[in-house]
């Protein structure tokens, strides 16, 4: 079964990921030293979200 990744801001469903995948989902904050692999925008709250694959 796939897992649902939710927007950290509003909880809207962003994408699904395969069960064996681990990833980090955060709001993109320019001041924070974090380099996501993917960027997307929440369809609901329009915030920019970063996704980083951990495995």
Binding to Zn ion by CB under 5 A, coded x per residue (else -) over 3-32, reads ----x-xx-x--------------------
Q: Judged by CB, which is closer to Zn ion: 2, or 44?
A: 44
The whole-angstrom separation of Cα 50 and Cα 28 is 6
- Under 8 Å between Cβ of 40 and 9: no
Q: Judged by CB, which is closer to Zn ion: 3, or 27?
A: 27
What tokens were used for 41? Answer: 């925008």
Q: Which residues bind Zn ion (CB under 5 A)?
A: 7, 9-10, 12, 42, 44-45
């Amino acid at each position: 079964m796939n897992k649902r990744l939710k927007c950290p801001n509003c909880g809207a469903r962003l994408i699904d990921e395969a069960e064996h995948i681990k990833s980090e989902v955060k709001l993109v904050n320019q001041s924070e030293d974090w380099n996501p692999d993917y960027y997307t925008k929440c369809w609901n709250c329009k915030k920019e979200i970063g996704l980083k694959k951990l495995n």
